[in-house]
Structures are given as structure tokens and as C-alpha cells.
Amino acid sequence: MGEPMKRFNVALKCRLILCAGLALAVAQAVGAQTPPAGQPAGQPKVPEAEVAEARKVEAAPDAAARLAAAGEFLKKFPKSTLRPSVAQITAAKIAEVPDATQQITLIEQFRTAFNEPSEADLINQDLLDAYLKADRLADAFKLADASIDRMPDPVGAMIGLVNAGYKQMQQRKTEFVPQTARYAARVIETIEADKRPAALDTAVWTEYRTKQLPQLYRIHGLLLYASGDTAAAKARLQKAIALDPNDMFAYLVLGGLLNEDYQGLVVKYKAATGAPAADVLKQAQAVLDQVIDDYAHVIALSEGNTQYQQIREQVLQDLQADYKYRHNGSLDGLQQLIDKYKPAATPHP
């Protein structure tokens, strides 16, 4: 979906800013001649012993070593004015650890050592990402419920939760459908309201609004369907299509839901007589025409993609049967309908 790389860039930018904190703090502590703009001159110097111990943290070669050095710093100088900067660079090093299990262990140790309320916020988004990578979704949702509003990229964090919960649902694991649906609704609302977090630059936010939002609507629709709210599911899928007319999967699922509606109307029609039967028949035909239109989109948008060959075969079989029923046993005009929905060819430069 493009989002993980964007999330990494956001995190990296934040970490670079944080890592500059110790260098600045130490420079001020040893009495830099020219303080940064906006900083008052004549700030009290930090004792040399604290500066030296902080430098040991900065020089540690890996996350475990930096965490150990930070622990020594805290034992000796728990009230040091350098503590925030030491916490920042320690969290930054832990964020670089690629193994989720190892990272979780280090973050838990960090949160034990740096136990002031604001210090956990330095590392909570990394912990959430690690929980998701380790498939510890219960822990991820618990952490998010307690701290997501204080994360530097809460929108990206919510997208991560939604993707993980949706993956679970695809595996027929429905335990986390309610929480996933709740965060899907919340992140959609945040993006629609254009509430860009301060840590995000315009390019990332534009990606969220243009590429992520349609997919979030589709996923939310599927989650709502799994929860039994078919009407709301269809509305979400229709919104996904409005935002991205080339979303094949949205058409596929919406066509399937409408086909269920059609089958229900067929049963109702068979039980009706007289004028009510005629009204039900008219409703059923209108719904079936929409199913045909949605399935024509699926065939058009999946053309040439071998990954979707099985989907194409099944949908085409249903589409042809429905089209024949509505057109006196003929397929005349069906190919033209499909061609109408094929994406425009990208011009060569």
C-alpha cells in the first residue's frame, strides 16, 4: 500500500531531530559561547561528570549497550537536566533494531528505566509497530487505546492497526474485528477532517489522503460487513469507489453484497402476488443491473493481471449469466460495457 515506507521516513525524520538533542544539550551544558536563537544566555552549566556520562551513552555502539549506559547514567544522575536528551537518543537507537521480539524486550527495559510519564511517549509508537510485526495484536490495541493520541504519527499508527486487524480477518480470525473497525472509522474521520499531525510533512499527508483513504473506506466496509452491518458496509464501499474508481476489490465486494440483496428480493418476489409482486420485480431488476455494472468493472480492471485470474473466471461466469437474463439470452453489448470501464492507457513520455 505504500504506507510502511512513508511511516519509516516520518519516524526517521523525528529520530534525526531527537538525536540532535543531546549534542545541543551538551553544547549548552559545557557553556557554548553563542547560545541558539531564542535560548537565554547564561544558562547554568551541567557538571562535567554528567556530561561525560551522557557522552558514554551517545558513544554506545548498539541499542543494548546504549540502554545499559543510559541505565548507569540514571543511577548516578536521576535528576540531571540531560535526562530528556539521554532518553531521546536511547529511544532512537532502540528504534533501529530490526527484530521485533528483541525490540520489544529493549523497549520494555527502556520503559522500566525511564519511568517518568512523558518518557514512555518517546518509544510508544515504536513499541506499537513492534507489537504489530510480532503479531501481538491484543497488546497493540491495548497500547493504542492508552497512548495513540500522543504518538508523533497517530494516523500512521491507526493505519497499521487497521491493516493488521484486516489481515487477521482475512485469516478468518474475527476476535479483533470490533477494535479494527473502531480505528478504521477514527482514522477515516481524522483524514477527512484534514487533521495533519505536526510530525508529518505535506507529502506523507497527501499520500494518506489520496492513496490510503480509499483503501481505508474499502477495509472499513468489509469490517462492517463482518460485523453484520450490511447497509453501512455498502455505503463505505461506495465511498471507496467514489474516491478511487479503479478499486477492483471495492467493486467485487460491493457487487457481491448487492447480489445478496438481489437473491433476497427474488425470494420475496416468489412469495408475492399482484401489484406488490410487480414492484418487487422492478426492485430486483434494478439491483441486478447494478450487480452487472459492478462485475463489469471487475472484469475491466483485472484484465491482464494473472494474479486475479481465478477471480476473473468466477466473476465472468456470473456476469454472463446475469447479463443474459437481463438481455433475452444475449451477450450483445457486454464487451462494450466492459471496455467502457477499462482504465485509460498511460501515455508514453
- CA 18 vs CA 14, 35, 328, 332: distances in Å: 6, 18, 69, 65
User: pLDDT at position 251, please?
Assistant: 97
> Can you tell me which residue has the cell 535560548?
39
Show me where the domains of the chain are located: 1-30+45-131, 153-244, 248-340
41: left (phi over 0), alpha (psi -120 to 50) or beta: beta
User: Which residue intervals of 79-212 are DSSP H helices?
Assistant: 83-95, 100-113, 117-120, 124-133, 137-147, 154-170, 177-192, 202-207
Average pLDDT by consecutive 10-residue portion of the chain (349 residues)? 41 45 47 39 77 96 97 96 96 96 98 94 96 97 97 96 96 95 98 94 95 97 95 97 96 97 96 92 97 98 93 96 97 97 72
Instruction: Kindly report the pTM of this predicted structure.
Output: 0.84
What confidence score (pLDDT) does residue 241 get? 97
